[in-house]
Amino acid sequence: MPYDPAVPRSPLRVMSYNVRYFGHGLRGLASTRAAQRRIATRLAVLEPLADVVCLQEIETISLRSRVAFRGRRGETQLEAFMHELEAAFAGDARTSPYESFYFRAHVNQLRGVPIYTTGLAILVHRDRLAVDHHNVESPEHITHHHVERWKDRKQTRICAHMRVRTPAGPLHVFNTHLSLPTPFAREFWAERLRMGWGPNQVHEARTLAAFVQRHARGEPFVVCGDFNSAPGSPVFRHLTEEAGFTCAERVCGLCTGLDPRGFPTAGFMRLRMHLDHVFFGNGVHWVDLDGTARFGDRRSPFAGLSDHVPLIGRLRL
C-alpha cells in the first residue's frame, strides 16, 4: 500500500530505543541474532504500530557485531535486523511496512579490521509517511573533543535528520546519542549526579539545538535519543529552557525533579537512570507515552532486551 495523503489524521506514534547493538544477551560483549529476533518480534506486534522508530547504538559491520552472529556475507547489522523484522511480520501473514535508513557515526579499528562501529537508524512506516529528504550521506557531527590529542580515539557523536510528509503536514525527525560526561573536567568529580553535567555534553547539546533550529525552520519537529543526561541537568535545562524544546516525559508527568531514578530509562547493575528523552516543538502536540515502561518493569514486552527501555508515545501536528 503506497503512502496516501488522504489517510485520516490519527496521531503519529514515535518510538526511541537504544538497542545496545543487540548485544545485551552477552552483556555487551557481542551482538546476537536472538536479540535481534526478540526486538523485531516486539516491534512487529505493537498496537498500533510505530510510524517512526529511532534506534541508537546500531553497528555497521565489525568484529563485535559478527563474532557471535553469523549473517549473510557483507550484510550490515541494520540489514540483518530488517530481515528479522520482515520475518516477524511474515509469521502473522503480514508484510513489513518499514523502510530503514542508517546513519554511520564511528569506526574503531585495529590494522584495518573494524573492532566496533557505531551509528543511528530511523525506520519509517512507508504506508503512513513519505520521506522528503534525509542526511544519511552526511549526518551532522556534534562531538565535542575535550582533549584534542585524543580526538581520533573518541567516539563520534552525530545527529540524524529526516523530513517526512504526514497527512497533517511536514514533520522533522532528529535522532541522536550524546557522549558520556568527560572525566577530565572538574565538574565530573565535583558533581554527584554527573550524567548531563559534563561540559562536553553541554557543548554537544548546544550544537544539537542549533542544528535542529537551523533545519526545522519553524516547522514541527521531534528529537529522539539517548542523551546520557538526567532531568534537571545542565544539558536538559539547556534544551528545555534556552533552546525551547518541550520534553514529552515532562508533559506526561514522568520527569520527577532532579531525581535521575524517578523514571529510569536505563540501568547498569543496580544503578537506575533517566537518560533517554523525546523533545518536540513548533506546533507538535504530545498526546501520551502509552507503551512506555520504566526500566526494570518485568511486565514490559521489552524487558531484558537492552540496558535501555524504549520511549513510545503519540503526537499530533
pLDDT in tens, 232-266: 999 999 999 999 999 999 999 998 666 667 899 99
6 in any annotated domain: no
pLDDT of 113 > 90? The answer is no
Full-model pTM:
0.88
**Mean pLDDT over each residue of the chain, to the nearest integer:** 85
Q: CA 116, CA 121: separation in Å to the nearest integer? A: 16
Judge whether 191 and 203 are in contact, CB under 8 Å.
no
Per the rule left: phi > 0, alpha: psi between -120 and 50, beta: everything else, 285 is: beta
The more confidently predicted of residues 127 and 144 is: 127
Reported as a pLDDT band with limits 50, 70 and 90, residue 192 is low
Mean pLDDT of 178-198: 68
pLDDT for the residue numbered 216: 98
Sorting pLDDT into bands at 50, 70 and 90, what band is 306? very high
pLDDT tens digits for range 18-60: 999 887 655 555 567 888 999 999 999 999 999 999 999 998 7
Q: Which helix (H) or strand (E) holds 166?
A: strand 158-166
- 57 lies in some domain: yes
pLDDT of residue 150: 46
Whole-angstrom CA distances from 78 to 19, 118, 215 are 11, 11, 26
Q: Would residue 23 count as lying in a domain?
A: yes
Q: For 173-181, what is the mean pLDDT?
A: 96
Q: List the CATH number of the domain containing 257.
A: 3.60.10.10
Distance CA 62, CA 70 (A): 12
Give residues with Cβ within 8 angstroms of 101, minimum separation 6: 121, 122, 123, 124, 131, 134, 136, 160, 162
Predicted confidence at residue 144, as pLDDT, reads 77
What amino acid occupies position 193?
Answer: L
C-alpha cell, 249: 516525559
**Residue 250: inside a domain, yes or no?**
yes
7 is a domain residue: no
pLDDT, position 257: 67
Task: Note the helical H segments in 105-233.
Answer: 186-190, 199-216
- Grid coordinates representing 132? 522528503
pLDDT at 29: 54
* 57: DSSP letter: S
Whether residue 4 is contained in a domain is answered as no
Task: Name the percent of the chain lying above pLDDT 70.
Answer: 78
In a domain, 171, yes or no: yes
Residue 299 has pLDDT above 80, yes or no: yes
Angle of helix 77-90 relative to helix 33-44, nearest 10 degrees?
50
State the pLDDT at residue 66. Answer: 45
Residue 118 pLDDT: 79
pLDDT at 62: 42
% pLDDT > 90, the chain: 69
Count the Cβ atoms, other than its own, within 10 Å of residue 55: 29
Which position has the grid cell 575535550? 146
Average of per-residue pLDDT across 136-145: 89
Residue 258, pLDDT score: 63
* CB-based contacts of 48, cutoff 8 Å, min separation 6: 13
**For the chain, how many structural domains are there in total?**
1
Give the pLDDT band (50/70/90) at residue 61. low
Domain of 61 in residue numbering reads as: 12-316
Is residue 11 a contact partner of residue 315, using CB atoms and an 8 Å limit? yes
For residues 50 and 146, give the distance between their C-alpha atoms in angstroms, rounded to a whole number.
37
Which pLDDT score is estimated for 260?
Answer: 64
Nearest to 286 by CA among 317, 241, 255: 317
Residue 285 CA: distances (Å) to CA of 22, 49, 151, 279:
32, 19, 40, 11
